[in-house]
Amino acid sequence: MSDQQQQNMAPLEHLAIIMDGNGRWAKNQGLPRIAGHHQGVQTVIQVVDECVKVGIRYLSLFAFSSENWGRPQQEVEALMELLLQFLASQRQKMLDGGIRLRVIGDRSRLTESVRQALADAEKETAAGTTLTMVLALSYGGRDEILRAAKKLAEQAVSGSVDLQSIDNKQFSTLLDTQDIPEPDLLIRTSGEQRISNFLLWQAAYAELYFTDVLWPDFNAQELHKAIEDYRQRKRRFGLTDDQLQPGRQLPEGENH
Ligand code: FPP
């Protein structure tokens, strides 16, 4: 690889994915929607393995949005059941592989049994340092920002924070993602080209990659295509080319 190519290789520390198209995949096969979600879990397992192989440190998956609560009750329950099965079946593999689970979203809407299973898995895997899998559940970007703003307002009212000193970096610590770096690459499958309320604050400078492939058909090869595409991107974070010379500091509050 030439020096020029090396220099253009943007680091990929955090990959975020909007896993879309399970329902359409199932419909195409003449199967019920939940069969698409089942197959989607198999894709999750493959993608996690591949992320570990290529050295990605954070993988954020949009597994259930705040809006998904509006789906038919039967589908919501089936998705929660799938989640519980996923946690149980992957537990040992996560522990052996150093995979840490983190959950973002409004847990208060989840059932007690789901909340407990998530808390147990987070606790058990807390020492994992190979890959952090961030599951967005009952998650909405606006909701997350609103919850952070309310925390800040409470702190301001109690006098524990000086509002003038709040900057991007400090505000970020009030988000569910707290100490997680911002995503470098955001993939959405199934041909839709929207962010749909995922990581609204955090994805401000993420590179976006859209593919027509439906999530159950996504695989290691498709992941490599996305990574290859990302490697060709030139990330500027609002700066000029000259300012992006190696070693230059990025603007305050933009941690990439
Ligand atoms: C979008 O497809 C997918 C979801 C709303 C759920 C994603 C969930 C999984 C992949 C399985 C559960 C995940 C884990 C980690 C256990 P869609 O149903 O909106 O598809 P459509 O747009 O084709 O209808």
Cα of 41 vs centre of ligand 1, distance in Å, is 9
Q: For residue range 225-250, list pLDDT tens digits in order.
A: 999 999 999 887 888 777 776 655 55
Beta carbon of 196 within 6 Å of any ligand 1 atom: no
Domains of the chain: 8-140+182-233 (3.40.1180.10)
Q: Of all protein residues, whose CA lies closest to atom 10 belonging to ligand 1?
A: 40
Beta carbon of 39 within 6 Å of any ligand 1 atom: no
CA-to-CA separations, 138 to 67, 103, 144, 188, 211, in angstroms, rounded = 8, 10, 10, 18, 24
Mean pLDDT of 69-82: 97
Cα of 36 vs centre of ligand 1, distance in Å, is 8
CA of residue 11 relative to chain centroid, distance:
17
Is 219 known to be catalytic? no
- Rounded distance, CA 134 to CA 20, Å? 17
Write down the pTM of the prediction: 0.92
Q: For residue range 244-255, list pLDDT tens digits in order.
A: 766 555 554 444
